[in-house]
Structure 1
Amino acid sequence: MEAITFKAFAITNEIDLNQIAIHCGIPKKFTWEQPLFLREQILESILDKKINEAHQMVLIFSFGSIVFINHSEAEEIAQVLKFLYSFEPDIELKNIEKYSDDYCLHINEAQLVELTDEYVVVPIFESFYPELISTVLAKSVALEKTEEQLGKIHDKLETMIDRLEKGRLRIGNKELARTTAKIVRHEYNTLAYIMILDKPDITWSSSTANEFYDRMTDFFELNDRYKILKSKTEILYNIMDGFSTISHSIRGLFVEWIIVILILVEIFLTVLEYM
């Protein structure tokens, strides 16, 4: 059996699978943890050509990732992405390779399961391998995207810290609100939406699938990367709490000084009146 190739992209933050399913005539309500499979007649209608390669399909994930299986032609990938763009115009078609990964599945009866950075070898093909590998790759590239977004938030906070070091203590409410919103959005996209800790349904009914999926997630360090992102997010919240406390203290001090000035003015006017 020839190697099965995988190419994963993180193309946006969210994809409405139900909208695409309705367009493709798929009678199913998709939940967040279920990928949408495009294959056979549906994939042929999108590509406008006959599918010849075995196991050729496309998996679309609600958290913004897409995985192509056995698609070697760039034109086919571009055509599917244009199809998705009609549903999700936020997709950046010109910068599609920024968050991507390639992988292969090899079958070798004389060898035990072996995981590497570029491929995995299994002794016998099981129908769940393509879905499990695709799920791990999809989550991995999605994490890569959110890791870079977290870096941009860190850069923004570093600028605010530099301002504090220079004695510019006042930080506007709008700036605090925008930065906090970015942190909340990052946490939602990463911790809630990618659902690192959730497993595909097949892993609950097959011990072999469960063991393989666990080995894949450990090799790609999904859980460790998730914990690091979560701890960094908590640090960001603590920093924002510090900024908010400083900002409110300055405003409180300003109000107190205004009250003192008003009292002094009132005393001055009273003395002036008696004189």
Structure 2
Amino acid sequence: MLKVVSFQIADSIDIKQFKTAFTAEIYHEDSDELFYRMATQKFIYVFKYGIVCFLGYNEVESTAFIQVITPYCRNMQEERLNDEFDIETNANRYKLGYNKIELESADVESFRLIMLNVSQSVALDHYSQQTNILLEETNYHTQILEKKGKLDLSGINLKKYIGRTLNLKNRIAENLYIFDSPEETWEDENLNRLDIGLKKTFDLQSRFRTIQEGLGIVKENLELFKDLLQYRNSIVLEWIIIILIFVEVINLFIEKIFR
């Protein structure tokens, strides 16, 4: 029995720099990921969106590798999201379950495809967690608006809030490719069947849509908050203009009296 374990260790990994420093055998690479074959049934998959996935590694070995890659990570996660998946090879027939797959035979591409989908699932957990935090903040501010009839957000805090939302949306957009099927599945019927089955098992598309819907709700509220803030600022500006006009009138009045 082989075990796949995937960890969200950081917001991102500089895989270009890591590739230069880590000189193990690379089986597959592109600008977004590195797939290392360390032994016959031992593999490491590194993704630029902060995920490292292991196959055939125990906890001590995976921890040691994470320490090696840490200098190339940005914003390390204190609480690492992870997911596990078991692989049984030389099975009597192909069978895909909730957290286990049985394969009649397995090659490197099958292992890579399984590790890819497990890692995608962890990435979605991470983005879902971040989206829920934004939704909770949004709900808090809308409740304040309902109770007090006004926002408790200053212009600077609103800009920071908008920045966090846009940053998350951009990171998800950058990694949309993770939901595309690898080119190898286009030409191999067995790999294509495996990829489709894994995507259904991990419910990747549905979970991604949920994240998009959550971010859409946040965006709508941000537009409302921005409009309310602009209205509040315009009211303040109007009062400033009124006061300035009033001061000017008083000055003219005083000049006439003492002329």
TM-score clears 0.5: yes
The aligned residue for residue 82 of structure 1 is: 67
Aligned residues: 255
How many Å separate the matches in 1 of 2:180 and 2:32? 7
For the Cα contact (< 8 Å) 2:51–2:123, is it kept in 1? yes
What is the CA distance between 1:239 and its match in structure 2? 0.7
The residue matched to 1:14 in structure 2 has which SS? strand
C-alpha contact 1:13 1:189 (8 A) present in aligned 2: no
Asked if 1 retains the 8 angstrom alpha-carbon contact of 2:42 and 2:56, the reply is yes
Q: Hey, what does 2:217 align to over in structure 1?
A: 235
Secondary structure at the residue paired with 1:132?
Answer: helix
Residues 1:114 and 2:112 are matched in the alignment: no
Q: Is the 8 A contact 1:17 1:30 kept in 2?
A: no
Q: Partner of 2:241: helix, strand, or coil?
A: helix
> CA, structure 1 residues 66+170, in 2 after alignment: closer, same or farther (shift >3 Å)?
closer
Q: Distance in 2 between matches of 1:233 and 1:25?
A: 40
CA contact (8 A) 1:34 1:200 kept: no
Q: Partner amino acid for 2:79? A: N
Give ranges in structure 2 of 5+ residues lacking alignment.
Answer: none
Q: Which residue of 2 aligns with 1:31?
A: 30
Verify: 1:259 aligned to 2:251, yes or no: no
> Where does residue 95 of structure 1 map in the other structure?
79
Q: Show the counterpart of 2:185.
A: 203
Deviation at 1:148, TM superposition (A): 0.9
1:176-229, Cα deviation, whole Å (9 max, x unpaired)? 111111111211222322533322231133222122111111211111111111
Percent identity (aligned): 18
- Preserved CA contact (<8 Å) 1:9 1:141: yes
Could you say which residue in structure 2 is the equivalent of 1:270?
252
Write the distance in 1 (CA, Å) between the matches of 2:25 and 2:9.
Answer: 25
Q: Deviations over 1:8-47 (max 9, x none)?
A: 111112111121211124698953444331514xxxxxxx
Find the residue that maps to 2:177 and give its secondary structure: coil
In the alignment, structure 1 segments of 5+ residues that lack a partner are 41-53
Is the CA contact (8 Å cut-off) linking 2:43 and 2:55 kept in structure 1?
Answer: yes
TM-score by length of 1: 0.83
CA contact (8 A) 1:139 1:194 kept: no
Spell out, residue by residue over 1:222-248, the C-alpha distance to the aligned partner (whole angstroms, 9 max, x if none). 111111111211221111011000000
Aligned partners of 1:228, 1:21: CA distance in 2, in Å?
34
User: Are 1:71 and 2:85 counterparts?
Assistant: no
- Give the equivalent residue in structure 1 for 2:161: 179
Cα pair distance change 1:265/1:183, threshold 3 Å? same
* TM-score, normalised relative to structure 2: 0.88
Q: Which residue of 1 aligns with 2:175?
A: 193
- Whether contact under 8 Å (1:21, 1:27) holds in the other structure is no
* Preserved contact between residue 33 and residue 195 of structure 1 (Cα < 8 Å): no
Q: Which moved more, 1:120-129 or 1:234-243?
A: 120-129
CA distance in 2, matches of 1:196, 1:229: 15
Q: Distance in 2 between matches of 1:159 and 1:34?
A: 38
Query: In structure 2, how many angstroms separate the alpha carbons of the residues matched to 1:264 and 1:222?
Result: 63
| Distance in 1 between residues matched to 2:237 and 2:71, nearest whole Å | 53
The one of 128, 144, 150 equivalent to 1:147 is 128
Q: Distance in 2 between matches of 1:205 and 1:223?
A: 22
Q: CA deviation at 1:108?
A: 4.9
Partners of 1:71 and 1:77 within 8 A in 2: yes
The answer to whether the Cα contact below 8 Å between 1:102 and 1:118 also exists between their aligned partners in 2 is: yes
| Equivalent residues of 2:117, 2:199 under 8 A apart | yes
Give me the whole-angstrom Cα distance separating, in 2, the residues matched to 1:149 and 1:64.
14
Q: Aligned residue for 1:220? A: 202
Give the number of the structure whose residues are more often strand, by fraction.
2
